A = this chain, B = another copy of it.
């Protein structure tokens, strides 16, 4: 997480202020619950809400001495609350606060990223409809295959990020739990109803069984999910990078007036945003590994996960939030060149219709193997001509082929509408309209 690749709202979520504020709310709600159960005085709970406060600097100073962050926080809190502070944190253990707080941060981070996804989906949908019928060549292996439309490319991305959204919702649900169960999770010193009360106030589910800590398989799943979503970011970014390369140039990232592409080559307009997204995806993906290694804590818990989470908690969410927002910006303003798409497609002299001719031949009774051979011998000629020969011309002059077709039939096999006839069906599947 570095400022260059961060957005303020997500960054703020991981600030010390945010963290201590959440700690405070957990403690204060717990006091209310304890007071309702008659375990601590109602006045004490009220005093916590009324006079409770903290200062980040003061907490840091105390922690430097006691080397324990929760004790430092509680000490600072007590300085504000006064004698009633002795009722705070009663029967609780540090992890009750730390883990519940971390989960709240992850839930809020998920909410920000879900909003990012919604924005991205909206943009993809709009642009998909804009270019629903913009014919472009479909490529497999980087080689021209058959025509498709640019709208279909975007619809594919829309479908992929819709899945990303569902996955993120699942991951959010995985970590939306609250544990207040004491030193080894037995509720020895605290009533389970406190946990239920606090969970309810904070919009979380109770953690049905904890062991001082909230089990880390939940978090492993969360970060693995971010890694998968980042990989989808990489996919779309890679597509843009490919389409912007000099020889293809079917799209370009928006290039602002003041922007300089290169310190040396003034003509350069580079896909730097999507290249950047490719790198960011590598980072988000990498955080899944330590998150998985965090699962096997020793016995009821150890603290080895803590340093990992202090790093990947912010790093993974801030980076993916930034990447999703950047991708949305790229797609929103993407310069799209339909003429160039058409020109590229036409370079191959009609070869993209070869399979269609092949099928037509089999329907005329030619065996698949013979049809393949007949088409391929003409296709290879077009290929070798570097775009100067056209497949339709060659087929007309290949009597073994031409004799199978009635006049006009061969020409009809080169009609583009043939390839786009199912676009509506697919759009209906994806966008429901």
Extra inter-chain contacts (19) besides given A142-B299, A266-B375, CB under 8 Å: A1-B311, A2-B311, A85-B368, A89-B368, A137-B246, A138-B300, A139-B299, A141-B298, A142-B242, A142-B270, A142-B298, A144-B246, A146-B184, A147-B184, A148-B185, A160-B217, A247-B248, A267-B382, A279-B294
- Within 8 Å CB of A296, what residues of B? 231, 234-235, 237-238, 278, 281
Smallest beta-carbon distance A303→chain B, Å: 4
Contact of A186 among B228, B347, B422 (CB under 8 A): B422
Which parts of A295-330 form the interface with B (CB within 8 Å)? Answer: 295-308, 310-312, 315, 319
Given contact pairs A247-B248, A286-B290, A264 touches B94 in the complex (Cβ within 8 A): yes
13 contacts between A and B (CB under 8 A): A66-B260, A86-B367, A139-B184, A139-B300, A152-B209, A156-B209, A167-B221, A192-B425, A217-B228, A227-B292, A247-B344, A276-B306, A283-B311
Q: Is A256 an interface residue (CB 8 A)?
A: yes
Quick one: which of A137, A170, A298 has the most chain B CB within 10 A? Answer: A298
Please determine whether B282 and A289 come into contact, CB atoms closer than 8 angstroms: yes
- A172 to B333: give the CA distance in the assembly, Å: 37
Interface string of A82-99 (1 = CB under 8 A from B): 010111011111100000
- Within 8 Å CB of A348, what residues of B? 246, 267
Residue of B nearest to A244 (CB): B142
Please determine whether A183 and B422 come into contact, CB atoms closer than 8 angstroms: no
Q: Is A433 an interface residue (CB 8 A)?
A: no
Q: Is A390 an interface residue (CB 8 A)?
A: no
Given contact pairs A188-B418, A224-B288, A234 touches B295 in the complex (Cβ within 8 A): yes
Residue of B nearest to A174 (CB): B163
- Within 8 Å CB of A315, what residues of B? 311
Q: Is A419 an interface residue (CB 8 A)?
A: yes
Give how many A residues have a beta carbon under 8 Å from the other chain's beta carbons: 171
Residue of B nearest to A224 (CB): B224
Given contact pairs A70-B263, A224-B227, A185 touches B285 in the complex (Cβ within 8 A): no
Smallest beta-carbon distance A127→chain B, Å: 15
Please determine whether B358 and A266 come into contact, CB atoms closer than 8 angstroms: yes
Please determine whether A217 and B231 come into contact, CB atoms closer than 8 angstroms: yes
Q: Is A57 an interface residue (CB 8 A)?
A: no
Contact of A141 among B87, B139, B272 (CB under 8 A): B272
Residue of B nearest to A234 (CB): B296
- A176 to B66: give the CA distance in the assembly, Å: 43
Please determine whether A264 and B93 come into contact, CB atoms closer than 8 angstroms: yes
Please determine whether B262 and A93 come into contact, CB atoms closer than 8 angstroms: yes
Quick one: which of A68, A262, A265 has the most chain B CB within 10 A? Answer: A265
Please determine whether A298 and B242 come into contact, CB atoms closer than 8 angstroms: yes
- Within 8 Å CB of A164, what residues of B? 217
Given contact pairs A2-B310, A186-B138, A209-B152, A66 touches B262 in the complex (Cβ within 8 A): no
Q: Is A426 an interface residue (CB 8 A)?
A: yes
Please determine whether B280 and A307 come into contact, CB atoms closer than 8 angstroms: yes
Contact of A225 among B224, B267, B297, B423 (CB under 8 A): B224
Residue of B nearest to A78 (CB): B368
Smallest beta-carbon distance A252→chain B, Å: 10
The stretch of A107-115, A117-125, A349-357, A398-406 that contacts the partner chain: A349-357
- Within 8 Å CB of A352, what residues of B? 265
Quick one: which of A94, A153, A212 has the most chain B CB within 10 A? Answer: A212
Smallest beta-carbon distance A339→chain B, Å: 9
- A210 to B140: give the CA distance in the assembly, Å: 13
Please determine whether A143 and B276 come into contact, CB atoms closer than 8 angstroms: no
Please determine whether A419 and B186 come into contact, CB atoms closer than 8 angstroms: yes
- Within 8 Å CB of A68, what residues of B? 259-263
Smallest beta-carbon distance A227→chain B, Å: 6
